[in-house]
């Protein structure tokens, strides 16, 4: 019985997070002049997902811990993918803002920022010309 109850709670959190992401997708005019973080659309998107999940979890009457957990999950799920220079910069901005609003924990933030650093480094290095073993020139015959 405990297992099914845990699954139900997990499902409820998953639905809240998915709804929050869809709401952030549908939201128009994310720029809020009273919130400088919203000047970056990626940060505004993550914040909208966070706020939507927070409201949805509160309406369901969840505990404060579960409300916070749902909001933080929605924020992290809304982070931009680490593909391309612009997305990497947005990812860093979102993680940094997430630390400020405590949507990204101080133990997770360094790992996420390191992942962004690795992704940025991968962009900066040229790819090898060919995949596989290096070509070798035949040795001259004696």
User: DSSP labels for 38-78?
Assistant: GGSHHHHHHHHHHHHHHHHHHHTT--HHHHHHHHHHHHHHT
Q: What is the pLDDT of residues 66-114, one digit of tens each?
A: 999 999 999 999 999 999 999 999 999 999 999 999 999 999 999 999 9
User: 84 in helix, strand or coil?
Assistant: coil
User: For the segment 4-34, what is each residue's pLDDT rounded down to a tens digit?
Assistant: 444 555 666 666 666 666 665 555 455 566 6
Q: How far apart are CA 9 and CA 38, in angstroms?
A: 31
Look-up of token digits 């391309």? 84
Backbone dihedral region for residue 35 (phi beyond 0: left; psi -120 to 50: alpha; all else: beta): beta
- Considering the entire predicted model, what is its pTM? 0.68
Distance CA 98, CA 106 (A): 10
């Amino acid at each position: 019985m405990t297992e099914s109850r845990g699954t139900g709670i997990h499902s409820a959190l998953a639905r809240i997070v998915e709804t929050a992401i869809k709401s952030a997708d549908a939201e128009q005019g994310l720029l809020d002049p009273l919130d400088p973080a919203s000047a970056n659309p990626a940060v505004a998107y993550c914040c909208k997902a966070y706020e939507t999940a927070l409201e949805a979890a509160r309406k369901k009457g969840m505990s404060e811990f579960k409300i916070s957990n749902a909001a933080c999950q929605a924020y992290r799920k809304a982070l931009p993918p680490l593909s391309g220079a612009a997305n990497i910069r947005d990812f860093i901005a979102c993680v940094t803002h997430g630390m400020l609003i405590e949507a990204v924990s101080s133990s997770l933030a360094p790992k996420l920022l390191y992942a962004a650093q690795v992704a940025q480094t991968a962009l900066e290095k040229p790819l090898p010309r060919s995949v596989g073993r290096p070509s070798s020139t035949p040795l001259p015959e004696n």
